[in-house]
Structure 1
Amino acid sequence: MIIIEVCALVIVSFGNLQIPAAVVRVILALSGLILLQHGGSEPAYDELLDGQKNIGATLKLFYGMVLVQGILYAVACMFEFFSFIPRRSLIRGGGFKGQWGMKSVNMYYAYASEKCMQGGVLAPKKINLSTFAMDSVNSDSSKNQLAGIRMMHNFLQSQPTKAQLLSKLATSTKTMARIIRMLDWTSPKDTAIRLYAAKVTAELAKNLRAGTIPGTMQLVSALLDADRRLERGNPLLDTDDEHERRQDPVLNTEDSREVADNQFQTQGQLRDTDILLETESRSTQEVGMNKQNSCVLRCWQHISEFWSIPKEQLRTDHDLLPALAMSIIESLAGVDQDNCVEISKAADLVPKIIRFTICRSDTMNTKAQQEILLKSSLKVLQRLTSIGGETGITLRYKISKHPFLLSNLSGILGDDKSSQISRKLVAGILRNIAVDEKTRQEIGRFQMIITKLMQAFLYSEGTMSTNDDHLSRKVAGQALAMLTIQSAQNCLVILKEPWFMKELKILIHDKRYIYVAASLLRNLCLHARSELRESDLKELSHTLREVLERILDADGAELEILIGLSSQICKVIPEDFTRELDAGQIKQRFAKRLVDTLKANMKPSAHCPGIRRAVLEQVIHLMEYNSRYADCFNAFGMTDALSMVEQTPSKAENYRLFLGDEGFMEYSMPLSDLVARAKELMGCD
């Protein structure tokens, strides 16, 4: 095969008139010089008639120049003939693959040659690969555009070339705008260009500001409709033309065939190339089996390896325009808040994303591809629902109000075939949208959701060995904790499980889940106290020692969670609580810890806005049960601490948590009322 390619290269080279012209120049020049050298005396001439002198020397100089020119032409042709060596080296070194890589390098050589011919000899020329790729993308030729965008995609896969390309694109708004506009090239002949433009944009989106290129979000949103066919409509609302088009088998077949052709045309071409290269490799291997000890064969194998072009990877199920679009959106949301604003403004973007949270029959995608689209949609929804500030409120409202969202998420949790990743993403979405009270109540109506979250958090099978397993369990617990905040109904649904408290007690003693379990247990004690069974109270008592010991060492948000739980346990089973304080001989240390926590948090933060509230509730519950605790607190300066709290009010303490600068889950009782009640129990004037 290599011999055939070399012969073809020779034929093509000799087909170029430069080689025959160079040979003719050399032959004619040598002939003239030989005649002058051996032809005897110089030609006779008449100075008066010819007006010339030294014609022999002049002819020698002329023939010498022609000879040198011919030799230079010949050398240039020789270099051109052996240029396949640096070209193949560039293909392998630059990470190019397949026939497109060879064609791209050939185009780059032609581009570099043209640049060198322009301007002065010493003029600076920008002829590197990144510049060539950008110029190709900005050209009017579809062939050059495809080569340029594929080269960009290739450069973005390697860190050194990626950094160089990104630095150039940062100063080229024209090229960036062209790449974004390529996302809207829906013509069948531009299918490959659009696909690679989406791939490149998915990489660029990690540092892209969508507002700098008008219409970016609209074009990205259009990618979500790339595989969509006509949907079944309502017969009361459809027009006759729409109904006939849906029912027409000819139109539907043609549309399906066009979509399939566009989707697999590039893949078919790449497969043919791989088959050819695989055949070459197999032939070489067969020869090697017959002559393993041949030195010539080993040399031949080295030459073949150098000559061969790395195989191009076939398109995978991940090369779907909707999946790439959702990857772009997820990356844009992680850049800055301005991108989140652009996302929230995009019309119909959220419904298009939610459409992929269920396997649909109105696409040409396989089951594996639909699974990829499902995970992509869940990832971007989890990212969008975690955004803080007013923009996050807007996005969570748009997402949670969708009529099919909760039913789709419930279906994923209820499907035994759903992957662990999908279940974790669903739990993350539910956790994020549960910051809204109305949404929490709506989620509670889907008993399947709460049941499956409980199973994921409490009854995971076997010994978990990976971080993903631990994370999935933790996220499920976080979702349950959020759903039970200020929701007695959701708490009652959870307590229907008779062994729930026993399993939750086990997790309280597990340092990996103690804070999630403590938050959930606090909510159950607060909102479903009357429904706790005798067995539940016993299990609750068994958690006291662990909780109290942790309070003495914890800090920040973790300390707020633990004090909040101990406060509710003290309210539910005060006798057991005080008995544990006395039995463990930690009453003094515990009281001092509460007073010190108040003094250390005179400026509440968004990280733990309710820590002073939790301490005050704990102090009040203890003194309401037994007034002698007032003397214990006074011994450590509780009166002064209460006065400091009273003098440093903060609106942030009215909220349970913050996302960005926005507070959520406002408390019904102001902090000032708790301070007044505590001072009353302390006997302060």
Structure 2
Amino acid sequence: MNQSRQQTDIRGGRGSVVLELGNSSSTPTTIFEPQTGIDKRESSNINSLSLSDPNTDRAPEKKLTLFALRLAVLEKAATSLGTLGFIWATVVLLGGFAITLDETDFWVITVILVVEGARIFSRSHELEWQHQATWSITNDDGTNNFRSIFKTIQTEPKRTPTRKWETSDVPLLPYAPWVFLSRNVSKLLYFLQLASAMACVVLSLMKLIKHNYGEVAKGDVDKRNRKAALTIFYALALAEACLFLLEKMYWEYKVIICKLLDEVNNECQLGVLGMVSIKRFFYDAYSKCINGSIFDGLKMDMVSFAMELLESNSPDEQLIGARILREFATSDRFSEDTLQKIGINLSIIERLVEMLNWKDPEEEEIRLSAAEILSKVACKKQNSLRVAGISGAVESISSLLQTNRTLNSASDEIFERKLVVYNGNYSFWTFNHLGLLILKKLARDHDNCGKIGNTRGLLPKIIDFTHTGERLLKNEMVTESQIMTVKRSLQLLQMLASTTGVTGKQLRKEISEVVFTISNIRDILQYGEKHPTLQQLGIEILTSLALEEDATERIGGTGGVLKELFSIFFKEGMPETYNHVKIVAGQALAMLAMESRQNCRRIMKLDHAIGKLLAALEAPLLRVNSARILTNLCAYSGGDGFSQLRQLTSSLPIVLGYISIEGNKLQEVMVGLAARVFEYTAKDELRMMFEKAGMDEDELGKTVVKILKKHRYPPAKTPRIRRFVVELAISMMRTEKANVENFRRIGLEIELEHIMETTSEVESFNIFSGMVGMNRHNTSIHSLVEIALKLMQNK
């Protein structure tokens, strides 16, 4: 029985999707019945702060764009007044009153124009230097932040990164680099502006208060408007300087006192390294507002900003963009909108896929971020189709799977670990983990499974991750990373092996032909008692592979596989959580025994196999699959072990009792088993068994007809029940001639004729892969009905 499982992956967000052959229920769905569709479930950990909540602030960065807008209004107003003042001074004052100006006014105006020119110059370049400070993610010594943090954490894993890692500076000259850092140059220009503005305020106020513009003699036409012109100029200069200082005060208040950048960084959940991204975003928005329309910055958002940086040619800009997209894509709060924007932007998906191939150590974090983003993007099936549709995408993803690893002790890592700093917490994520996760999400689509199978060397890589060994599974100190890697590789293999159609057939063939596939699963069955999920996945893979005849023989011929399955099926003293493993083990044994004479012989050679299976018929958890196994042993053993199968006669009272109980799977499998048991039972023994069961053959005949009347058309849940009923009726008529007359009397012939008119292709198969029938019955139901009708017509 394949159980539906819901997995949670990589820090919440969109969870992983696992394909199953059936649903979890009290009466489990199995591959022995057709499925209307493959169960596909997506787990989502979107919490109460989901983007769908209208009361939630969907875009915290809007606080920065609004802040940039207000600053730009003040800046442009000050610049406009400054331009007007400059024109007034040069055209009106120096042009019209240059000769008549008082010497003091002349020099004051000159000084004001010079300091204002210096302020405007330093203002324009200060923004460039502030912006430049966010272009590089390097420390003062030129080393990369990621590597510095990695080395520090290796020695001090509990230490929190300092602000030094959050600042980014570009040393301009090799001499006295602390002087020529972009950060220090920006500060120098900043203070120069403040000094210029203060000087302008002081000079303008002094002249406006004293009002000493020189005497104007009566009749002096040339000096008639000089006083008004000077007053207007000083007022303009004062207003400009005051607006600029107001802008600076507002800037300092919001950034230093209100800590707006820190607030937005926290709301965006960008972690300890997020300030670089936040500053870069703010300066970009402010630059747009200053250099273009004041509303240009309002159009910006963090996701679009990050996507632009990701397509840049600068490694530092790529890293900033990758960090932002990674954090937003993995955030419960922002993931939905972020993944939607990425999903509709094919060029970004192509860029992310391209980054998976980057092998430069300097680009490790970018590559890892790209893998993590893709693992989230692929959560949505439509996005996974876009990812897989990119030429070479599967090959790029397969490059994440590094198989140079050891599993010799619990302290061994499955592969080399890489570091990602996330929200101030240190989490180790691996390329292997993410590679397997992306492939698992792509494998939800049938065509993608084919692409994975056709990628050269990929299947052996995936199978290699299923290698465990006794020391790994039995060691209590085993790392969660090791178990997770094995689990994901098994999940991926299970999805590939359960693919339907021609693609599934080819995948099962290729998987089973890899020499380590079955032996690796055998180790998991043998030593994985502490990890029932791994055992269940391994058994489900074997069950799916058994759909192919060659694979069935390989599995049975691999020493210990059938023995381990049998041991798991009958394991006692296990918690209820282990029941699912026992059920799928029984299903696997039934599959492996189907149409395989060699496997039937191997099962019957197991210690007390028939006796245990007979005893399991009374165990509610085991009886369905025990009946299936016994039915297949009787049908396909080819006469081998006849003396052992004769033991089934003693189970007839139990089987007959279950046939009378109306149900679905249980009644179906018991009718099928009864038809086989009748072939191994003599007449005298049959009478004894009927007496022991407290019923006679007439009652059984009525039950048979009643089942046919209930199932006038082939049911999807029990597609073989009518076939089994006809087989049972044939066995009863062959065993005892009196049953023929009894069946005529109770109307079996009418029901048989109705079966002829309502037969369906669904009744022609033993097992199903989704809605595709597998393993066609040797004898059609039409032929069985004709045999039964002939027996009834013979007197």
The TM-score with structure 1 as length reference comes to 0.77
The Cα of 1:554 is off from its aligned counterpart by: 1.1
Cα distance in 1 for residues equivalent to 2:656 and 2:260: 70
Partner of residue 394 from structure 1, selected from 506, 510, 528:
506
The Cα of 1:415 is off from its aligned counterpart by: 4.4
Equivalent runs, 1:418-567 vs 2, <5 Å: 419-458=531-570, 460-466=571-577, 469-528=578-637, 537=646, 541-542=650-651, 544-545=653-654, 548-549=657-658, 552-555=661-664, 557-567=665-675
Cα distance in 2 for residues equivalent to 1:579 and 1:113: 95
Partner of residue 666 from structure 1, selected from 765, 770, 776:
776
SS class of match (1:510): coil
Note if 1:44 corresponds to 2:216.
yes
Q: Aligned residues, how many?
A: 596
Equivalent runs, 1:381-420 vs 2, <5 Å: 381-415=493-527, 419-420=531-532
| Runs of at least 5 residues in structure 1 that lack an aligned partner in the other structure | 230-259, 271-308, 361-365
Structure-1 residue corresponding to 2:259: 85
Partner of residue 193 from structure 1, selected from 366, 384, 392:
366
Equivalent runs, 1:65-214 vs 2, <5 Å: 65-79=239-253, 81-82=255-256, 85-98=259-272, 100-117=273-290, 119-123=292-296, 125-207=298-380, 208-209=384-385, 210-214=387-391
Q: What CA deviation, in whole Å up to 9, does each residue of 1:152-188 have, x standing for no partner? A: 2222333331111122122211111111111111222
The Cα of 1:94 is off from its aligned counterpart by: 2.7
Partner of residue 198 from structure 2, selected from 4, 26, 31:
26
Contact map agreement 1:570 1:621 (CA 8 A) in 2? yes
Amino acid at match of 1:462: G
Structure-1 residue corresponding to 2:456: 347
Amino acid at match of 1:505: L
Alpha carbons of structure 1 residues 320 and 33: separation in structure 2 relative to 1, 3 Å:
closer
SS class of match (1:48): helix
Greater percentage in helix: 1
Cα distance in 1 for residues equivalent to 2:299 and 2:722: 64
Alpha carbons of structure 1 residues 504 and 119: separation in structure 2 relative to 1, 3 Å:
farther
Q: What CA deviation, in whole Å up to 9, does each residue of 1:403-438 have, x standing for no partner? A: 332333334434478843333222121111111122
The Cα of 1:56 is off from its aligned counterpart by: 4.3
Amino acid at match of 1:626: E
Contact map agreement 1:18 1:77 (CA 8 A) in 2? no
Cα distance in 2 for residues equivalent to 1:607 and 1:390: 25
Cα distance in 2 for residues equivalent to 1:63 and 1:531: 109
Cα distance in 2 for residues equivalent to 1:86 and 1:70: 20
Alpha carbons of structure 1 residues 537 and 94: separation in structure 2 relative to 1, 3 Å:
farther
Does 195-204 or 112-121 show the bigger shift? 112-121
Alpha carbons of structure 1 residues 605 and 321: separation in structure 2 relative to 1, 3 Å:
farther
The Cα of 1:526 is off from its aligned counterpart by: 2.4
Percent identity of paired positions between Structure 1 and Structure 2:
25
Alpha carbons of structure 1 residues 429 and 508: separation in structure 2 relative to 1, 3 Å:
same
The Cα of 1:489 is off from its aligned counterpart by: 2.1
SS class of match (2:426): coil
The Cα of 1:677 is off from its aligned counterpart by: 0.9
The Cα of 1:452 is off from its aligned counterpart by: 0.9
- Please say which structure displays the higher CA radius of gyration: 2
Q: What CA deviation, in whole Å up to 9, does each residue of 1:269-302 have, x standing for no partner? A: x6xxxxxxxxxxxxxxxxxxxxxxxxxxxxxxxx
Cα distance in 2 for residues equivalent to 1:52 and 1:41: 8
Amino acid at match of 1:57: T
Note if 1:220 corresponds to 2:397.
yes
Cα distance in 1 for residues equivalent to 2:317 and 2:703: 71
Partner of residue 645 from structure 1, selected from 750, 755, 762:
755
The Cα of 1:130 is off from its aligned counterpart by: 2.0
Structure-2 residue corresponding to 1:573: 681
Contact map agreement 2:509 2:551 (CA 8 A) in 1? no
Contact map agreement 2:208 2:231 (CA 8 A) in 1? no
| Runs of at least 5 residues in structure 2 that lack an aligned partner in the other structure | 1-158, 168-182, 406-412, 470-476
Larger RCO, structure (CA 8 Å, separation 6 or more) = 2
Q: Over aligned residue pairs, what C-alpha RMSD do you find?
A: 3.6
Cα distance in 2 for residues equivalent to 1:570 and 1:527: 16
Cα distance in 1 for residues equivalent to 2:336 and 2:574: 43
SS class of match (2:294): coil
The Cα of 1:486 is off from its aligned counterpart by: 1.2
Amino acid at match of 1:413: L
Contact map agreement 2:289 2:297 (CA 8 A) in 1? no
The TM-score with structure 2 as length reference comes to 0.67
Amino acid at match of 1:345: N
Alpha carbons of structure 1 residues 628 and 89: separation in structure 2 relative to 1, 3 Å:
farther
The Cα of 1:484 is off from its aligned counterpart by: 0.6
Cα distance in 2 for residues equivalent to 1:627 and 1:63: 121
Cα distance in 2 for residues equivalent to 1:112 and 1:83: 21
Cα distance in 1 for residues equivalent to 2:483 and 2:457: 22
Partner of residue 314 from structure 1, selected from 404, 417, 427:
427
Alpha carbons of structure 1 residues 677 and 55: separation in structure 2 relative to 1, 3 Å:
same
Cα distance in 1 for residues equivalent to 2:520 and 2:466: 6
SS class of match (2:576): coil
The Cα of 1:613 is off from its aligned counterpart by: 1.7
Amino acid at match of 1:214: S
Contact map agreement 2:671 2:724 (CA 8 A) in 1? yes
Alpha carbons of structure 1 residues 151 and 563: separation in structure 2 relative to 1, 3 Å:
farther
Alpha carbons of structure 1 residues 671 and 118: separation in structure 2 relative to 1, 3 Å:
farther
Contact map agreement 2:330 2:376 (CA 8 A) in 1? no
Cα distance in 2 for residues equivalent to 1:114 and 1:606: 66
Cα distance in 2 for residues equivalent to 1:655 and 1:133: 54
Cα distance in 1 for residues equivalent to 2:745 and 2:764: 29
Alpha carbons of structure 1 residues 118 and 624: separation in structure 2 relative to 1, 3 Å:
farther
Q: What CA deviation, in whole Å up to 9, does each residue of 1:215-267 have, x standing for no partner? A: 2112112222x3549xxxxxxxxxxxxxxxxxxxxxxxxxxxxxx9x956747
The Cα of 1:455 is off from its aligned counterpart by: 0.7
Cα distance in 1 for residues equivalent to 2:767 and 2:756: 21
SS class of match (2:674): helix
Alpha carbons of structure 1 residues 446 and 81: separation in structure 2 relative to 1, 3 Å:
closer
Alpha carbons of structure 1 residues 635 and 115: separation in structure 2 relative to 1, 3 Å:
farther
Does 383-392 or 115-124 show the bigger shift? 115-124
The Cα of 1:355 is off from its aligned counterpart by: 2.8
Alpha carbons of structure 1 residues 162 and 540: separation in structure 2 relative to 1, 3 Å:
farther
Structure-2 residue corresponding to 1:238: none
Cα distance in 1 for residues equivalent to 2:245 and 2:620: 82
Contact map agreement 1:36 1:42 (CA 8 A) in 2? no
Partner of residue 730 from structure 2, selected from 620, 631, 642:
620
Contact map agreement 2:311 2:351 (CA 8 A) in 1? yes
Amino acid at match of 1:171: I
Does 525-534 or 17-26 show the bigger shift? 525-534
